[in-house]
Structure 1
């Protein structure tokens, strides 16, 4: 599966016998022997090897027949990559989109999670693991990396090695382990927009060589980049605190126990989307954005979104607390190692949003506070290396409970905005003012699996690696929405019911599935590896927990309460090479993935409905070619360039909701056929065939590239380096709506980052940096205002930022 991105790294310089590099070791030992060799690292461009645990054993990355990218802790620090969102600038085939922590999606090669607002009833296809613990909430991907040793990004299905839902890939975060030698690290950063980030860790023995402790913390604050002229405050700020502790016990020569605990709190004044542009829908002109706002004499403070001002009138909040405890046990049995990971995690979410996106009181409250906890248990047995057979076998159990209390309240402007202006109630604010939906949403998710991977070394060069996974999933949900009028009555008229309709349903899903893969690899010589992979994998089915689409009588369509599992056929060819005495790395891969019954989040065009719903597209295909290169022509100069072409499309989706330019009019009939796109007052098709269209959120072309040049200097008698570095990235345009719209394509953009500084290896580092140096205006994503008014709202990417970082190791 794809070549590993030579961007970096961390790593261990395990140079000698390749066989020794593949022998499993306990995590603490690996961490202690790891050394970081600068941004691009001699481990990749020199004679060393990057050691990874992607296949649940320690191996050199260039000899692993998996598409894997590795980014080390020093690279994360120097590039300002302190969360998954920033990781996308280093990883061309990784996409991450977030309107707030809950509504986030991590995709690899265009696959993983449906693009759009989060629905608790389905799961991500990109598994996120931190110190071998599966994180079920994608919101956890917004946390700051704390005391991170490395990040491994695996592309393609990984279900025969990882515990749950990795049909698109996995993000494996490995933190620094406790050390039996006293050590401490501190890193301080300041920048414009009042940016401050402080990171620190301390580690050392508590009892000789038996017990060691590591404590780590991270604090990030930044003033918002968007100014709200109505609320007189900056919004889209950052306010994050992370605490982490680890206790390592070497119970015996062959048994290690590591106890982990972490707590993370984020409480930013975030996250606002606001006016980006206006498109034309098929609603009558008097029901489109221009006429509706004119009726109130309203205008947004600026029609240029990059003025970065808004006047939204609802308070904004995106507070979350998450954390947990886990126990990792590694027991070396001689020929194999038995591993157990027991974990408990929690996630509490307290949001506040303005989901009409403007300064009119249309929807005054939109919030879905949620509490979730999960319990996981994984047991694995992995061989410690042999001449003929290596294996990993395991069992995985997962239980999750979610309790959500949804609240949506309409304001005095809702009647004019949401009711046909020709109707009598349109001019009566009291009809919809304080119309309130209180949603009680419950969900439990149980999953169990057994899995295994065998590597048969037929010869010293040829290996065959089949894998198998048997999985069971059961999901039970409950959605109860009680709607009351402004007077507290539950008796609704037709106009009220068309905006917020009461619903009550209890979806359920359970299913068994079997996944498998097989990889053939051939080690042409010590520096050239070729491989081919086929995988058949499954992503669990799901239940709709955001309310159902309504029928003509405004009753929920119960048939839409569940969605089918995804079935994935995946093919990949890869080539990993190093040459010029390993100063150059060139890795190539080509992939073709077909997904049947693809789980899509589709836009709900009904009046007051703010969230999308789930549906199965018949078939989706993603295919592409990727190249990752790194070159160190001299000890002073390091270069890298990585690129990806990704063609991700709906092959068959014949009954999708239509984009805004084909929505909002009366439903077309044989007598009144569908009108051309963007015809006010026209006739709209009941649904649209979007087969052949690109998947949302995926750029056809994506690149990352950069260089670093250093000059040896002596400072205070120590050998040091003066260095200057550049990192750039480019993404071509992508669709920002599940059904592609002429109004919601995000234009392609390029970002350039620079840094200059002085460092002494393993001692200290001080550097100035500027990110988005040319102040490129770009959107992270675009979205629609509910009801097909034609308003397109956006979330601009960060403007130019600059600052200074100093780091010291003791």
Structure 2
């Protein structure tokens, strides 16, 4: 189907460009990249996706480029918002740590985050790899452009990534004095300020300083704390010093610091689904037994009653040194960087106003060091990139989860017997799991790519990567009762502990694990591209890639007999086979661009985040799905019809499925009951039937991957008219942009209760821009569409589904000055 679609689209696009093609020679002529970028026709975008400057249309891979001015104009001020402009980019976040950045449905396992796995989508800022996806939640700071590269990126980038890379380039120091300032105000008490100044300190030294600050009232009202939550409170600073004694040598020193300190991130009641727990142990019965009523069962009333303190304190920053030296026919680049991440959360993990889980927090501190050496060589017939990359990371985490006064009645089997432990709050109240963990990760790689221009039209491009990874971790959970005594869940209490009760051990069990493993990987890719005409490029790519081994760092799941499953301490590396074909075209004197891509990615031993609904698994854990496949088609169209009108439309169809996952945790509707016999044939025939026997695991082969919409579209247009305003010549303009995503599932094992409906958002803006000045008003989610950003299954298999509604209609105004 994909091949046929691509063939038809290729014919269609060829018909658009036929008049221009006929006006040229039948044989494509050699193209000078410098001349291409200086050609005044159409819209030329220069990228560094292949570690050298070239136009986006010359790059034989699927790439979306969003310029800094487009980011600001559309209000997409971080990667979370950027997905509204790039259809195959999916970003879901329940808090900064638990953020999933995926491309084509692949990358980060969807769900609660573990430190023990690699990111499948690399985030690079000025060539520096950011290992923690928490960096994605910060405001863009003085960004020149963002390149979203789709598909494996292991032979050109320092850190191997299996799904793609997000390459962020900031504005660099200049030897001409310049500056800009921007102020935005809006409803929900939005206040956003940005500023940057750049200029010379001497003939050889230039400096640039930038800052950004955003604050906004939350979008959920907590009736318990009587304040709005899920607010924004961001501050970012960056300084850069450029030393350029000659045209052949430069050193750029950079430092940045960003912090967030919002009351975040809470959920609201969305729905209840029936599980296989006995009916009197499901949400509605448990809530009625404790006379508990949520403020509203309509999530779009934006009310919650969470009783635990909320916090999402997040700090990230670092320093780097980038050296570029033109050595003979090539350029040697060195990038040295240190980065830190400090995460201080507080959560309400039972998603209710009852004191079931009274405390839940996993603060972390990370240090990472990276060094990349890269040599670029360009000639008339051969281009070469070869690199050496080293990476070292340590993450320390100190976790606490504590049961509250309502835990016993909520979690244990109730009865009318006053002696039943479920009727005594002291049975579980104060039971605390204190987790200490650390992770050490070391990585080294040698990578390179060769571009051989066989003819003026044909280029063959092989790439290789040799990678070594070593990971070691430590996890210890100490469980204490309300009196602070350490408990043991073994047959005979261990020294220094007392024997825990069956009720206590059914919720938390002490654990100690110290997984360690290492692996070598050799991977490669091969690209062949052909210039059918001057402005028509066809390409095909095969990539053999991998994601390195993972270790479980958040506690291990329990076996059927309530013992710890130590076999789950490590997960196998992913093995990736990726195929892609594409067509890049420009026509109408390069004022129109149409690109088309078809892809298929097969992954064996896919690393998935799963959660069986147990309280004993404090967070999700990693497991290998046998096989996953993602395939689809992407199309991008842009036209600069005239100086007065521009428009774009992008679309993607993504079919991402578990092809084989026979031992996955079951979804809520098939969980909560007494387990079926170990040797029995798995029976899935009674979903949501209270008291039914539950399968020990579920075969979800053929199910869609979580977090992936099959259809996604984005579009935009702007029209302008020259005017003179306040004696200043410029343009008045009106712009519209929007996006659509079809439904998707928000649980690792897809559930009928965690289906998120599709939605379409529309944004408008109108204003005036002149030399050094711009002012405009904007409305985002102009039609005030109700939509859910993500859903979460509450622990304990009670059937409670909580979620976070997306932003309501927001509006405001922005004023900019530049010189």
Q: Would the TM-score normalized by the shorter structure come out above 0.5?
A: yes
Whether 2:412 is the aligned partner of 1:419: answer: yes
Cα shift at 1:274: 2.0
Post-superposition CA distance 1:380-435 (Å, at most 9, x none): 0001x211110000000000000000000110100011112148211111010010
Q: Matched residue of 1:221: which SS? A: strand
Tell me the equivalent position of 2:644.
636
2:479 corresponds in structure 1 to: 483
CA distance 1:158–1:671, change in 2 (3 Å): closer
Instruction: Give the 3 Å change call, closer, same or farther, for CA 535–106 of structure 1 in structure 2.
Output: same
Question: Would the aligned equivalents of 1:471 and 1:513 in 2 still touch at CA under 8 Å?
Answer: yes
1:795 match = 804
Name 2:326's counterpart in structure 1: 332
Report the 3-state secondary structure (helix = DSSP H, G, I; strand = E; otherwise coil) of the residue aligned with 2:32: helix
1:19 aligns with 2:32: yes
1:183-240 superposed Cα distances (whole Å, 9 cap, x missing partner): 11001000000001000001000012x0000000000000111100110110000000
Distance 1:152 1:662, change over 3 A: same
Give the conservation status (yes or no) of the 8 Å contact 1:432–1:496.
yes
CA contact (8 A) 1:22 1:57 kept: no
Structure 2: distance between partners of 1:205 and 1:631: 38
Q: 2:219–2:807: 8 Å Cα contact kept in structure 1? A: yes
On the 8 A contact 1:332/1:338 being kept in 2, the answer is yes
Paired with 1:117 and 1:605, the residues of 2 have a C-alpha distance of 13
Rounded to whole Å, the distance in 2 between the matches of 1:163 and 1:419 is 50
CA contact (8 A) 1:610 1:786 kept: no
Structure 2 residue 232 is the aligned partner of structure 1 residue 224: no
- The gaps in structure 2 that reach 5 residues or longer are 10-28, 487-497
**5+ long unaligned stretches in structure 1:** 4-15, 24-32, 35-41
1:780 aligns with 2:753: no
Equivalents in 2 of 1:22, 1:608: separation in Å? 63
Partners of 2:398 and 2:768 in 1: CA distance:
51
**Which residue of the partner structure matches residue 77 of structure 2?**
82
1:22 offset after TM fit, Å? 9.3
Shift of the 218–18 alpha-carbon distance from structure 1 to 2, 3 Å rule, reads farther
What does the per-residue CA deviation read over 1:234-265, in whole Å, with 9 as the maximum and x for residues that have no partner?
00000000000000000333110000000001
Q: Is the 8 A contact 1:355 1:610 kept in 2?
A: no
Cα deviations by residue, 1:329-374 (Å, 9 ceiling, x for unpaired): 0000130000000000000000000000110000010000000000
TM-score (norm 2): 0.93
Q: Structure 1 pair 464/489, CA: closer, same or farther in 2 (3 Å)?
A: same
Report how far residue 552 of structure 1 moved.
3.5
Contact kept in structure 1, 2:257 and 2:316, CA below 8 Å: yes
Provide the rounded CA distance (Å) in 1 between the counterparts of 2:60 and 2:510: 52
**Separation in 1, partners of 2:542, 2:178:** 45
What are the superposed Cα offsets for residues 6-65 of structure 1, whole Å, 9 maximum, x if unpaired?
Answer: xxxxxxxxxx99424399xxxxxxxxx99xxxxxxx98xx43421100000001110110
Counterpart contact for 2:231–2:263, Cα < 8 Å: yes
Over aligned residues, Cα RMSD in angstroms?
Answer: 1.7
Once residues 586 and 627 of structure 1 are traced to their aligned partners in structure 2, the CA distance between those partners, rounded to angstroms, is 7
Q: Deviations over 1:110-163 (max 9, x none)?
A: 000100000111011000000000000000111110100000000000100011
Instruction: Give the equivalent residue in structure 2 for 1:398.
Output: 391
Distance 1:717 1:463 in 2: 53
Aligned to 1:682: 692
Q: Secondary structure at the match of 2:201?
A: strand
**Given the alignment, which residue of 402, 408, 414 partners 1:409?**
402
Matches for 1:26-105 after TM superposition, within 5 Å: 46-105=41-100
1:723 to 716, 727, 733: 733
- 1:37 aligned partner: none
Matched, 1:653 2:646: no
1:148 aligned to 2:143? Answer: yes
Per the alignment, residue 425 of structure 2 pairs with 429
Matched, 1:180 2:180: no
Q: What is the match of residue 770 of structure 1?
A: 779
Shift of 1:756: 0.3
1:261 maps to which of 255, 265, 268 = 255
Asked if 1:453 is matched to 2:449, the reply is yes
Distance of 2:617 and 2:350 partners within structure 1: 11
For 1:120 and 1:455, the matched residues in 2 are separated by: 36
Partner of 2:104: 109
Provide Cα deviations, 1:99-120, integer angstroms capped at 9, x if missing partner. Answer: 0000001000000010000011
8 Å CA contact 1:124–1:165 kept in 2: the answer is no
Is the Cα contact below 8 Å between 1:245 and 1:260 reproduced in 2? yes
How far does residue 717 in structure 1 lie from its aligned partner after superposition? 4.2
Distance 1:732 1:673, change over 3 A: closer
**2:259 corresponds to 1:292:** no
Could you tell me the TM-score, scaled by structure 1's length?
Answer: 0.94
Q: What's the offset of the Cα at 1:636?
A: 1.0
Match of 1:8 in 2: none
Residue 527 of structure 1, aligned match among 535, 551, 556:
535
Aligned to 1:599: 607
CA distance in 1, matches of 2:694, 2:118: 33
Of residues 490-499 and 151-160 in structure 1, the stretch that sits farther from structure 2 once superposed is: 490-499
Contact 1:473/1:512 (CA < 8 Å) preserved in 2? yes
Deviation string 1:594-626 (CA, Å, 9 cap, x unpaired) is 011000011222235341111000000000001
d(CA) in 1 for partners of 2:785, 2:255: 40
Answer yes or no: is the 8 Å Cα contact 1:213–1:246 preserved in 2.
Answer: yes
For 2:73 and 2:160, the matched residues in 1 are separated by 32
1:517 Cα deviation from its structure 2 partner = 0.3
